[in-house]
Amino acid sequence: MAIGVPSIEREWTWDDVIMALEVLAATDPHQLPRAGSPKSEALFERLRQSDLRKHELSLVGARSPEEVARRSRSVLDLYRNALLQGLLFDREILLLLEQDLRRSAELLSASVERRKVLERSAEDPMRAEMARLVEQDRSVFEGLQDLHSQQLGELVALALLRQTRWDVRRDLVALLDELAPGSNSLLRPQQLRDLQDLIVRAAELDWNAGVRAQLTSVAELFRSGEPSAPDLSGTPDGRSHRAQQGGHAHLTGGLARGAPDRG
């Protein structure tokens, strides 16, 4: 364990998580804890389950979605940067993304249920306050949609990297397959179309015929043609009040930047 990282024999506080991230950020990336390692898996799992990531996402109602996205990526960024330096951390990135995706999906579902309660209270004597809460909840929901969509895009971008091993890509496809039904009901139609396009691109570039076929199949599970996500915008076409950010184009220039085409 890196010198300065808090002991994993006790529960970590918020400050412990911050300290661990600072120490690891200054450490040789070869020394980052690994999934499956007898020496460092316990520390990796502590980072994956860390209070920082959990609390930042659970406090989404009190923080901007942009701040949530930035903070929740703290651990992921350590491993992504190491991967881009040529180190093999594909399994760790997959596990970190899986954790974040499950949390953001849970929060999206909870936001849908909360909005139903608020709408049932529309005739409340405190009508003006309820209207304010509805509008606030819409902003939170749209921020979570953006976060979940970005996380799915980064998952697909991981498949675009040449150094991502075939078994990791196989498990990545299985995770997409599992998440597709829930994502269809939670994301905006344009987000689903962008994601479907990105999966198709990953399939076209994948060198493994089996994974390529699986990616092609899973792309069809993200049904972008149906307005499945709850319409919280109040606009006729269901578009978000939030500015559109160009789909997932930035992802192929981030995690997958420089990944050569697989013939």
For 133-189, write each residue's pLDDT tens digit.
666 667 778 888 998 999 999 999 998 888 899 899 999 999 999 999 999 988 999
103 contact partners, CB below 8 Å, separation of at least 6:
53, 54, 57, 72
Q: Which of 38-52, 137-151, 185-199, 221-235 has the highest mean pLDDT?
A: 185-199
Average pLDDT along the chain: 75
| Contact indicator for 167, 175 with CB cutoff of 8 Å | no
Distance CA 168, CA 136 (A): 39
Question: Helix 74-84 crosses helix 14-25 at what angle (to 10 degrees)?
Answer: 10
Which residue has tokens 């994974």?
211
Distance CA 149, CA 223 (A): 14
pTM for this one? 0.75
pLDDT at 128 over 70: no
Lowest mean pLDDT among 2-11, 59-68, 120-129, 172-181: 59-68
pLDDT at 52 over 80: no
Q: Which of 6, 137, 154 is nearest to 77 (CA)?
A: 154
| Residue that wins the pLDDT comparison between 78 and 115 | 78
The vertex-106 CA angle with 60 and 170, nearest 5°, equals 120
Q: Which helix (H) or strand (E) holds 159?
A: helix 127-159
| Contact indicator for 221, 205 with CB cutoff of 8 Å | no
How high is the pLDDT of residue 2?
64
pLDDT at 42 over 50: yes
Q: What is the mean pLDDT of residues 178-202?
A: 92
pLDDT at 125 over 90: no
Distance CA 191, CA 260 (A): 25
| Residue that wins the pLDDT comparison between 201 and 1 | 201
Q: SS3 for 180?
A: helix
Which residue has tokens 């899973």?
218
How high is the pLDDT of residue 213?
92
How many residues does this entry show for the chain? 263
Lowest mean pLDDT among 35-39, 66-70, 87-91, 105-109: 66-70
Distance CA 124, CA 107 (A): 25
Distance CA 193, CA 167 (A): 26
How high is the pLDDT of residue 261?
37
